[in-house]
Structure 1
Amino acid sequence: MSKQLPDVQASSPDVTVGLSRVGVTGVEKLVKLGREDQRPIVLMAEFEVFVDLPSWRKGADMSRNMEVIDETLEAAVANEVYRVENVCGEAAERLLEKHDYTSKAEVRMEAEYVTREETPESHMPTQSTADIVASATATEDGTREEIGARVTGMTVCPCSQGMSVARARQTLEDLGVEDEVITDFLDQVPQPGHSQRGHATLTVETDGDPPVDLNEIIEVARESMSARIYNMAKRPDEDHMTYQSHSDAKFVEDCVRAMAEGIVEAYPELDDDAVVRMEQSNDESIHQHNAHAERVAPFADLRREVNGGEARGD
């Protein structure tokens, strides 16, 4: 006869305070991302899974929960998927069904995603990587899913570039060069500014309709910085990236605004209550600190602002 073990987690806690999130992190699973007429992409994904915990319950049955979580994730990733956020959504809904004491279930997923492209000048085949960021939150009111990516690019500081422009202009004036020639030269030859490696994060949270394409989000994020970068680059490509980045110098704030403009242009019919998260972090080259800017907003607000609907304050 087996011994009945006490269910300590179901007892009352000494301090009756509810918890917003209880769960597990670092759960690794393979996810097959389907593509039309092509072999699926296999991702090694890492999941975080949480439920809320009422004040009257001591614990969330962590060992038993892990079994439920593992079964849930295995069911969610068993077949090919075309939208990775659906994996999170299905898992969150299953968790909500299996826990009679919880009112909210959250599932987050990150995975490295590789895309193929070619270098801008030498047209050599190369690969670029992005980190997929997906999540879902399930409640009695329904499920919200988030899909997005974190990408790396290059930015150039407009402030330091402006100082270089002033120095170049003064030097050319001292050499007796005509003003018209100086202006033409500076228009055609971007002046130096200190550059940074930039990290852009762009995600969109919706109720799943209309769907948002992961590859489109990656493109918007990559195009938001001064220049794209490539894993493979020959000298003509390096020259292209240097010229491109200095031709489009951007503050960290400009990159976030470029993401806002890009997502509004890419998805003009997105639901007003979709939530867009945009973050830009730059690894500064001449400072020991880094620069960061972000915005989280309903799509209706972004559309109005991008289209000039918000007047400038005094």
Structure 2
Amino acid sequence: MRDCAAEQIEDVQGRADARAIAIDKVGIKNIRHPVRVRDRSEGHQHTIANFNMYVHLPHNFKGTHMSRFVEILNAHTREISVESFKDILLEMRTRLDAESAHLEMSFPYFVMKKAPVTGVESLMDYDVAFVGESTGDHYEQTIKVLVPVTSLCPCSKSISQYGAHNQRSHVTVQVKANQWIWVEELIDLVEGQASSQLYGLLKRPDEKYVTEYAYDHPKFVEDMVRDVAAQLKADDRVDWFIVESENFESIHNHSAYALIEMDKRDGQ
């Protein structure tokens, strides 16, 4: 048999490309890997993350080496964390000889919550993502958290003799910070501005409390994003943010939506 390992195998990806068109992002999507993230109450939390990993490809190269992305992930075994995020990006640039790299890590994050009256405990899950960009000496990281809450319509409350329609809302916050911010801090911020927060488990006294609390704290979708944005604007740790809210209407077959973006570094 021929000894293939001893033969010189051509690097097809390394061939020259004559089309003279660079590719902004090339790499792999939706690869799952265990990760460890910082947890405010427990220290660390282990979960499973979905990774998207891309690099810039110069115009003169035919392709990138896809297997190296997987090698980089597996080299970190189970110790991938927020702290090692920047190191992975730099390793991507080095291993793939790229001028820039982009890394996305999305995962479910769990918080133990107590019901407001009975104190019964249950887990709530939130969708969290970390996005990193590395180009030259510049590194930037964004934290993104989706927080499900309850919103109750002020107009419905005002014009109705009894009751008011409410809905579940998804409030998404993205921040670029100059200091560490806990995921739980962003969750707390959003839940504090909602008509009511959600819980995994409620007993009857809790359900009564949550229903009445929401009725006493009506919020339009516009109120939601403005109130959250006001908190982020006042936080000196936050340089840039996007806050958006989608209210899944209970009396319409469409959603209500609002978004605010602010770059505090530009004074905007």
Separation in 2, partners of 1:76, 1:143: 20
Q: State which structure, 1 or 2, has the greater radius of gyration over its C-alpha atoms.
A: 1
2:140 to 123, 126, 144: 144
Q: Are the aligned partners of 2:130 and 2:141 in contact in 1 as well (CA < 8 Å)?
A: yes
SS of match in other structure, 1:58: coil
Q: Are the aligned partners of 1:32 and 1:79 in contact in 2 as well (CA < 8 Å)?
A: yes
Give the RMSD, CA atoms, in angstroms: 2.4
1:138 maps to a residue whose letter is S
Q: Are the aligned partners of 2:151 and 2:168 in contact in 1 as well (CA < 8 Å)?
A: yes
Percent identity, aligned pairs only, is 26
Separation in 2, partners of 1:48, 1:125: 34
Q: Does 1:288 find its partner at 2:257? A: no
Paired residues, number: 264
Residues 258 and 31 of structure 1, relative CA distance in 2, 3 Å threshold: same
2:152 to 152, 156, 160: 156
Corresponding residue number in structure 2 for 1:69:
69
* TM-score for the superposition, normalised by structure 1: 0.76
- Specify every segment of 5 or more residues in structure 1 that has no aligned partner in the other structure, as ranges: 169-190, 306-314
Separation in 2, partners of 1:37, 1:155: 27
SS of match in other structure, 2:196: coil
Corresponding residue number in structure 2 for 1:96:
93
Residues 160 and 103 of structure 1, relative CA distance in 2, 3 Å threshold: same
Residues 38 and 239 of structure 1, relative CA distance in 2, 3 Å threshold: closer
Separation in 2, partners of 1:89, 1:120: 39
Separation in 2, partners of 1:77, 1:245: 45
Separation in 2, partners of 1:87, 1:75: 12
Separation in 2, partners of 1:77, 1:224: 39
Post-superposition shift, 1:61? Answer: 2.3
SS of match in other structure, 2:84: helix
SS of match in other structure, 1:15: coil
Corresponding residue number in structure 1 for 2:53:
49
Post-superposition shift, 1:22? Answer: 0.9
Corresponding residue number in structure 2 for 1:11:
15
Post-superposition shift, 1:37? Answer: 9.1
Q: Name the one with the larger strand percent.
A: 2
Q: Are the aligned partners of 2:18 and 2:60 in contact in 1 as well (CA < 8 Å)?
A: no
Q: Name the one with the larger helix percent.
A: 1
Over 6 Å off, 4+ runs: none
* TM-score for the superposition, normalised by structure 2: 0.88
Residues 130 and 263 of structure 1, relative CA distance in 2, 3 Å threshold: same
2:90 maps to a residue whose letter is E
| Cα shift readout 1:164-197 (whole Å, capped 9, x = no counterpart) | 1xxx3xxxxxxxxxxxxxxxxxxxxxx5222111
1:118 maps to a residue whose letter is K
Post-superposition shift, 1:75? Answer: 4.2
1:71 maps to a residue whose letter is E
Q: Are the aligned partners of 1:204 and 1:212 in contact in 2 as well (CA < 8 Å)?
A: no
Corresponding residue number in structure 2 for 1:87:
84
Q: Are the aligned partners of 2:111 and 2:123 in contact in 1 as well (CA < 8 Å)?
A: yes
Q: Are the aligned partners of 1:135 and 1:146 in contact in 2 as well (CA < 8 Å)?
A: yes
